Amino acid sequence: MKLLYRLFRSSLGRKYIMGVTGLCLFAFVVGHMVGNLQVFLGPEAINRYAHFLQSTGELLWLVRLAMLSIVGLHIWSAVVLTLENRAARPVRYTQDVFYGASYASRTMIGSGFVIAAFVLFHLLHYTVQVKGVNLTGQDFTTFETTLKNGTVTHDVFKMMVVGFSNVWVSLFYVVAVSLLSLHLGHGIGALFQSLGLKNDVWTPRLDRFGKVIAWVLVIGYASIPIAILLGYGKEALK
């Protein structure tokens, strides 16, 4: 009980929650990117992958629920910490210089909220497949394809190509992954700091790792809509 109290009520405890959930989300983001990049291997590869995920049944829902609570905890701790931070300085300075603080570190809550909004959209767009949000007039739920082994499954490849053909959707996607990269460029280094896993030897290494992986993520994710806007996939769909 005392442990839970310390975790949820102390400033450091909430930072641990923030850090651990951040680490999980980071792992998800990397995995998700690797999965999505299979789009470049052609329709068969990505559709087979999507079918595999869909067929995991209860496990999928377990993972979804876990992700939901992780996101919930991440946002909850962010909001509570931010409210406390605001309250800690009731009278502000005439000029906010925030000497020595990087742009990313100062805007975590802002980048976080935009990313959260995007994630919501993204879920409605591709997971729930609400027709009204994809701006293409097509109904993604109707897309079907047959894998080489004869299984009839949802055509994710087509959904991606059609979905990203809309410039506005792609633009929002690119903006969101850029912000995600900004968020993680600071967040990865910071989570190791919050979890106490840094020292004078590891600090520079981890910080550099965070920056590099953030770039890898933005390039990896943004490459998909950009490639599609440049014409990738049209051929395969025909």
Partner 1 sequence: MNLTLKVWRQKDANSPGRFETYEARDVIADMSFLEMLDVVNEELIAAGKEPIMFDSDCREGICGTCSLVINGIPHGGHRGTTVCQLHMRHFQDGQTITVEPWRARPFPVIRDLIVDRKAFDRIIQAGGFISVNTGGTPDGNAIPVSKQISDKAMDAAACIGCGACVAACKNASAMLFVSAKVTHLNLLPQGKAEKDRRVARMVSTMDEAGFGNCTVTGSCAAVCPKEIPLDMIAKMNRDYALAIFKGE
Binding site for partner 1 (CB under 8 A): 2-3, 6-7, 10-16, 81, 84-85, 87-102, 105-106, 108, 186, 189-190, 192-200, 203
C-alpha to C-alpha distance for 74 and 91, rounded to whole angstroms: 28
Distance of CA 23 to the CA centre of its chain: 12
Residue 103: CB minimum distance to partner 1, A: 10
**Three-class HEC string of 5-60:** HHHHHCHHHHHHHHHHHHHHHHHHHHHHHHHHHHHHHCHHHHHHHHHHHHCCCHHH
* Residue 42 dihedral angles phi and psi, to the nearest 5°: 100, 165
**Is residue 62 within a helix (H) or strand (E), and if so which, with residue range?**
helix 58-87
Shorter beta-carbon distance to partner 1: residue 102 or 127: 102
Task: Report the nearest approach of partner 1 to the CB of residue 81 (Å).
Answer: 5
The answer to whether 108 and 187 have CB atoms below 8 angstroms apart is yes
Measured from the CB of residue 73, what is the shortest distance to partner 1 in angstroms?
15
Quickly tell me which residue has 């980071």 as its tokens. Answer: 26
Residue closer to partner 1 by CB (options 65, 79) is 79
User: Residue 115 Cβ, how far from partner 1 at the closest point, in Å?
Assistant: 16
Which is nearer to partner 1, 178 or 203 (by Cβ)?
A: 203
Q: Which is nearer to partner 1, 52 or 98 (CB)?
A: 98
Q: 161 CB contacts (<8 Å, ≥6 apart)?
A: 228, 232, 233, 234, 236, 237
Looking at the Cβ atoms of 95 and 149, the one nearer to partner 1 is 95
* Closest approach of partner 1 to the CB of residue 137, in Å: 43
Beta strands per DSSP E along the chain: 144-146, 152-154
Q: How far is the CB of 100 from partner 1 (least distance, A)?
A: 2
Is the CB of residue 166 less than 8 Å from the CB of residue 121?
Answer: no
36 vs 105 by CB, closer to partner 1: 105
Q: Which is nearer to partner 1, 149 or 199 (CB)?
A: 199
Provide, rounded to whole angstroms, the least separation between the CB of residue 96 and partner 1. Answer: 7
